Amino acid sequence: MKVTFLDFEQQVSELENKIEQLRYVQDDSALDISDEIGRLQKKSQSLTKDIYAKLTPWQISQVSRHPQRPYTLDYIQHLFTDFEELHGDRAYADDPAIVGGLARFNGQSVMVIGHQKGRDTKERQYRNFGMPRPEGYRKAMRLMRLAEKFGIPIMTFIDTPGAYPGVGAEERGQSEAIGKNLYVMAELRTPIICTIIGEGGSGGALAIAVGDAMLMLQYATYSVISPEGCASILWKSADKASEAAETLGITATRLKTLGLVDKIISEPLGGAHRDYAAMMQTLKKSLQDTLNQVQSQAPGEMLQARFNRLMSYGKFKEIELN
């Protein structure tokens, strides 16, 4: 697969094109130019390293939405075996913007739930760009209750621009569906491990992101509103998205400082999409470590810790009242 480069990666893109051309020449020429190719590859790597060492929050936001970034089904394929997808909310429909089902993680039964975006135009439409409707959240809740019943841990993967803002979604209770999930996940008697793999878009992301541990990929984002949305409301211009991204504090490092994320999962050089295998390996290890940690707690202890953590969210000051 040919890598798609983002705006700020243009220099890398040019270098990679050049390497490609040289390789092509190499094939039907007697001259050995592999040294030259090697030199350029090194240059491309160090350039990528330089660029990624100082990504702005807005650039990270672009990486988190990269069209080649691994999606939930990619992680399911690489991290789990025996995936049995389960469908539908038993009330209205099956929402393809959220996928879920039983699977095996290093041999252990787990319930996997995640947002799913599409790769091509047709699939994007089918998946509604990863924007769930109420039935998606209700399916997720049904699967979580199922997992609880059989004492199966839950792993969720978060990657959505947000819950779908549509007439039908409102008519069928988008708000209630999200709110109910927040409530259920707070008291669910089984471990829940959440990983932000791409775009953590507001309430639509949070609705499957309450649990015992929050992991976040290095170039993922998580925000109360998209930088564009924030800019168009507060600056009255979507062009200020970059400033908004800066001030909203949407990156993994910033959120870890605020205590909202437990662990940042490093991505391969140039982002997860540059090396699926490496990304999967790193995440798999972290997920197993986290699962062990959560499972080592007694159930009551685990629930109390989850509750205490939820109650600790927020920054404020307290004054003495007379």
Partner 1 sequence: MSWFQKLLPPKIKRRGEADAKKSVPDGLWHKCPSCQAVLYHADLEKNFSVCPKCSHHHRISARTRLDWLLDSEGRFEIGSEVLSVDTLKFKDQKKYSDRLIEAKKKTDEDDALIVLQGSIHALPVVVAAFEFDFMGGSMGSVVGERFVRGVQVALEQQCPFVCYSASGGARMQEGLLSLMQMAKTSAALTQLSEARLPFISVLTDPTMGGVSASFAFLGDVVIAEPGALIGFAGARVIQQTVRETLPDGFQRAEFLLEHGAIDMIVDRREMRDQLATLITLLTKQDAVAKLEAA
- Binding residues for partner 1 (CB under 8 A): 163-167, 169-176, 178-180, 182-183, 185-187, 202-203, 206-207, 210, 222-225, 230, 233-235, 240, 243-244, 247-250, 255, 258, 260, 307, 310-311, 313-321
- 19 or 188: whose CB is closer to partner 1? 188
**Would you say 164 or 219 has its CB closer to partner 1?**
164
CB-side exposure of 2: number of CA atoms within 13 Å? Answer: 6
Q: Which residues contact 86 (CB under 8 A, 6 or more apart)?
A: 100, 101, 102, 139, 143, 146
Query: Do the beta carbons of residue 215 and residue 194 sit within 8 Å?
Result: yes
CB of 134 to partner 1, least distance (A): 9
Phi, psi angle pair for 91, to nearest 5°: -130, -40
3-state helix/strand/coil string of 69-125: CCCHHHHHHHHCEEEEECCCCCCCCCCCCEEEEEEEECCEEEEEEEECCCCCHHHHH
Q: Which is nearer to partner 1, 38 or 259 (CB)?
A: 259
Kindly state the smallest distance separating residue 178's Cβ from partner 1, in Å. Answer: 4
Choice between 101 and 249, CB closer to partner 1? 249
Identity of the residue, 107 or 314, whose beta carbon is nearer to partner 1 in the bound complex: 314
As measured in angstroms, the least distance from the Cβ of 229 to partner 1 is 8
- Rounded CA gap, 168 and 93, in Å? 12
Q: Between the CA of residue 91 and those of 102, 148, 176, 320, what are the distances in Å?
A: 21, 20, 14, 51
* CA neighbours closer than 13 Å in the CB half-sphere of residue 311: 6
φ, ψ dihedrals at 162, nearest 5°: 150, 170
Q: How far is the CB of 172 from partner 1 (least distance, A)?
A: 8
Residue 135 CB, nearest distance to partner 1 (Å)?
14
Pick between residue 85 and residue 301 the one whose CB is nearest to partner 1.
301
Q: How far is the CB of 203 from partner 1 (least distance, A)?
A: 5
Strand, helix or coil for residue 204: helix
